[in-house]
């Protein structure tokens, strides 16, 4: 996915990239998790679990974010942002206030949800919480069996609970999903019918790669993976 464009290209396509939504509400779920509600014409947008919207965060930078909730009739779109303070996207989102106008693209990307599989396991970090919020109502309505696993910073450990996410296990980032043996020893592998489950892995690329490798060795049903960010790489 494109993360940056030359300034002259941005200027050339200024009409296409003009603001199309307005910020109508902001709040902080934690010091590092910001919820922003946008309002605009989203009637023709195709929202799928795993799709992402591009937000223009500067003249030359674009970033991908997953919708946590949308209502086409009301024309509102909610996105949860991880304010980590280490990049232009995070800095831009942190400054967003009511009445600011923003460019948001239609969602696109990889579908991560296989509704025909009754057992669903989701793994991720702060950047994956919006995905969990979007999937939860569908999982509940369809009476899926599901569980969410998050690796979160200590200041964000209570965020899933505050957002109403149930069937959730939160690990500290001090515990490591970078260690194959540690992942292999997780209790989930003792209680779940792995061959009948779907695993959706998102968030940090290194954690996703480690978890995916362990799952493949254990011969699970279906694995869908999408790394959202990687240390030292801008705008993944």
Q: How far apart are CA 200 and CA 114, in angstroms?
A: 9
pLDDT for 64: 93
Say if 236 falls within a structural domain.
Answer: no
- What is the pTM assigned to this prediction? 0.90
Residues 80 and 135 in one domain: no
| pLDDT value of position 229 | 87
Which domain does 49 fall in, by range? Answer: 7-108
Whether residue 1 is contained in a domain is answered as no
Q: Residue 12 contacts by C-beta under 8 Å, 6 or more apart in sequence? A: none
Q: Please report whether residue 17 resides in a domain.
A: yes
Residue 234 in domain = no
The Cα angle at residue 61 between residues 59 and 65, in degrees rounded to 5: 125
Residue stretches of the chain with pLDDT short of 70: 1-17, 194, 232-236
Residues 24, 91 within the same domain: yes
Q: Are residues 43 and 123 in the same domain?
A: no
Q: What is the CATH number of the domain that holds 43?
A: 2.40.30.10
pLDDT of residue 231: 76
104 assigned to some structural domain? yes
**Three-class SS state of 24:** strand
Domain count, the chain: 2
Q: Identify the pLDDT of residue 173.
A: 85
* Residue 190: CATH number of its domain: 3.40.50.80
* Cross-strand bridge partners of residue 190: none
* Exposure on the CB side of residue 184, measured as CA atoms within 13 A: 9
pLDDT in tens, 133-172: 999 999 999 999 999 999 999 999 999 999 999 999 999 8
């Amino acid at each position: 996915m494109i993360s940056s464009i030359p300034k002259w290209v941005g200027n050339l396509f200024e009409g296409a990239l003009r603001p199309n939504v307005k910020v109508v509400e902001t709040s902080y779920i934690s010091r590092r998790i910001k919820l922003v509600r946008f309002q605009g014409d989203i009637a023709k947008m195709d929202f799928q679990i795993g799709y992402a919207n591009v937000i223009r965060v500067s003249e030359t930078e674009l970033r991908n974010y997953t919708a946590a909730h949308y209502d086409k009739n009301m024309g509102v779109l909610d996105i949860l942002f991880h304010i980590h303070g280490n990049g232009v996207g995070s800095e831009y989102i942190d400054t967003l206030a009511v009445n600011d106008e923003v460019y948001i693209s239609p969602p696109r990307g990889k579908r991560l949800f296989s509704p025909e599989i009754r057992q669903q396991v989701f793994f991720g970090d702060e950047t994956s919480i919006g995905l969990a919020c979007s999937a939860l109502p569908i999982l509940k309505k369809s009476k899926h069996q599901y569980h969410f696993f998050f690796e979160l910073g200590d200041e964000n450990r209570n965020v899933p609970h505050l957002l109403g996410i149930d069937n959730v296990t939160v690990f500290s980032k001090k515990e490591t999903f970078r260690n194959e043996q540690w992942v292999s020893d997780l209790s989930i592998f003792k209680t779940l019918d792995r061959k009948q489950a779907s695993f959706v892995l998102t968030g940090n690329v290194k954690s996703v790669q480690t978890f995916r490798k362990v799952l493949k060795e254990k011969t699970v049903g279906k694995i869908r993976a999408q790394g959202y960010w990687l240390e030292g790489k801008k705008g993944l």
